[in-house]
Chains A and B, each alone.
Chain A
């Protein structure tokens, strides 16, 4: 391959790398936490199930409690008053699932 072609390809690759570095934020910056859409989707999915709680198995309830616990750190990063409101709502779901779980385990 002629030197000129290699040079051009090298420059293009360098430019691509540069643009990638600028335009695509690092993974950590995106947050190990949830993005605005992700946490809301997860929150809605978890807390929409409270009406069916009595039909869930112990395993399913345990998973729901774990999902609530996993979501909590992400919600704690939100700004007030969204943080305060959502945390309270999440806590109510979590406590209710834990309550039914305990009830089912004691049966």
Chain B
């Protein structure tokens, strides 16, 4: 850099590029001569702006915003919406989980566990599958007629019906207000801020587990025993896995073998890193069920001395 610069007494000579070069040189603390402080400030400003922009755009190292209680579990579906000129669909888990069990939707209606992988088409809904299983304009649930999800023809004034689901980026007033809907529910610290399990036990919610014409009549599940899992970190309380709590809403085939494939208890070793990445418990417990921040809800058993 210095080879192009010719310092002369009382000023300097050289090209414009040389001038910028020496400004940078000085900004790094090596500069000599009479180059003004203005360019130094400009350079520092540019460096600062680039650094902030880089940090903002970087995928890693920037803290992710924690979703608000009503946003937790929200899924945005955009397999086909924007291609069809519609806003992506915003699906609120909190409302649906209050009314239906996980199994009803993820086993009987066959929604995949990973958001967007079902690739639902409007035509599927129109034929009475996926969202259209219930959102058909005919089904009455808990005294409320469930609105029709998609249809080939609709009057212009009915466009608002599309907006009820295709609502990303739109100011759509929801039929159910989260705060009002959950105001009496037992509270928790994280996720939706609701203790869903207690809400059911206390009778605030009664998730349906059977849909006529869709679900297969099954016997009630014989309760499997709870078991303890030893954590890898010494001193960390043991994990008590409650089969009872999980099978009530999920059944068996939702978790085995798709999520937990190890056939022998304790044979599959998984770490918190994998769980945080969305594997194993993290499939639900970082997306819909209470989040991993709530350590004590799994690590409950005092370490045996």
- Chain A residues proximal to chain B, CB less than 8 Å: 43-44, 47-48, 50-55, 80-82, 84-85, 88-89, 92-93, 95-96, 98-100, 102-103, 106
CB-CB under 8 A from A50, the residues of chain B are 218, 251-253
A54 and B224 within 8 A (CB): yes
Looking at B93-101, B124-132, B195-203, B280-288, the stretch in contact with chain A turns out to be B124-132
CA distance A93 to B251 in the complex (A): 11
A48 and B218 within 8 A (CB): yes
Report if B3 contacts A (CB, 8 A).
no
A47 and B216 within 8 A (CB): yes
The DSSP consensus for interface residues of chain B is loop
Q: B residues 234-287 with Cβ under 8 Å of A?
A: 251-254, 256-258, 261, 263-264
CB-CB under 8 A from B219, the residues of chain A are 48, 51-52
A-B CB contacts (within 8 Å), total count: 68
B220 and A48 within 8 A (CB): no
**What is the distance, in angstroms, from B90's C-beta to the closest C-beta of chain A?**
22
CA distance A100 to B220 in the complex (A): 18
CB-CB under 8 A from B129, the residues of chain A are 81-82, 85
CB-CB under 8 A from A106, the residues of chain B are 263-264
Q: Pick from B217, B221, B256, B264: contact of A96, CB below 8 A.
A: B256
CB-CB under 8 A from B304, the residues of chain A are none
B124 and A96 within 8 A (CB): no
| A85 with B251, Cβ < 8 A, contacts A99-B256, A106-B264 known | no
